[in-house]
Amino acid sequence: MTRIISPSMLSADFGNLERDTQMIDRSEAQWVHIDVMDGVFVPNISFGFPVMKPIRKATNKVLDVHLMIVEPEKYVRRFVEAGSDYVTFHYEATECIDKCIDEIHSAGAKAGISIKPATPASVLKDILPKVELVLVMSVEPGFGGKSFMPNSLDKVRELKALREQMGLDFIIEIDGGISAKNAGEVFDAGVDAVVAGSAVFGAPDPEAEIVKILNA
Ligand code: DX5
Ligand code: ZN
């Protein structure tokens, strides 16, 4: 599979959202990562539908939306209507996993499920055949700029093995603390898509940094 990078808008300049989205649009990045936080599931609040609008307008790239909110079943349809290509919600955030997946699919997007660092990959076994993406958190969700947790790669290997055993083809994505320093190891472990926020937007040349991470 080709390596995918999904720069995280959480580290963009919100006063220049259009400019920063256009930078990703010009770059080699295939996806744009959008972190939605509600202050309940995670101890931070980011943004919601109105902020997605200018991002969707500024790019045709794949919008990879990561919901860190409780009761995602209440909102997934609206996130699809706001232009998401992938809507990923957290395993820990809802009692209605099947309902979330069905809503995302019937609204016309691809569904992803994410696990926090303390959640084992094995809990996802029955869910894997129903989703197009699994997002492994390699930091505690809530903030950018945190250090990568290396044991997240054990989960990646486990998911890769399950994918093979079960004859599935979901994408394995990782989020948190990824940079050109560790991206090579991360891709080699079996990750298909990496999220990178501070490493991209904190670089002197973000477009060049995207290429560096893809070729790490
Ligand atoms: C953290 C978010 C991440 C964040 C990653 O909870 O889910 O997407 O933007 O930022 P970096 O790449 O700086 O760790
Ligand atoms: Zn994220």
pTM, to two decimals: 0.98
Q: In the chain, what are the domain boundaries?
A: 4-214
40-96 pLDDT tens trace:
999 999 999 999 999 999 999 999 999 999 999 999 999 999 999 999 999 999 999
Ligand 1 center–CA 36 separation, angstroms: 11
Instruction: Determine if ligand 1 sits within 6 Å of the CB of residue 173.
Output: no
Query: What is the CATH topology of the domain spanning 4-214?
Result: TIM Barrel (3.20.20)
Where are the alpha helices (H) located in the chain, listed in sequence order?
17-26, 49-58, 76-81, 97-107, 152-166, 183-188, 198-201, 206-214
Q: Which protein residue's CA is at the shortest distance from atom 10 of ligand 1?
A: 144
Instruction: Determine if ligand 1 sits within 6 Å of the CB of residue 46.
Output: no
Instruction: Determine if ligand 1 sits within 6 Å of the CB of residue 103.
Output: no
Nearest atom, ligand 1, residue 179 CA = 12
Encoding tokens for residue 72?
Answer: 């995602």
Instruction: Determine if ligand 1 sits within 6 Å of the CB of residue 196.
Output: yes
In percent, the amount of the chain with pLDDT more than 70 equals 100
151-202 pLDDT tens trace:
999 999 999 999 999 999 999 999 999 999 999 999 999 999 999 999 999 9
Measuring CA to CA, how many Å separate 138 from each of 8, 151, 189?
14, 8, 13
61-74 pLDDT tens trace:
999 999 999 999 99
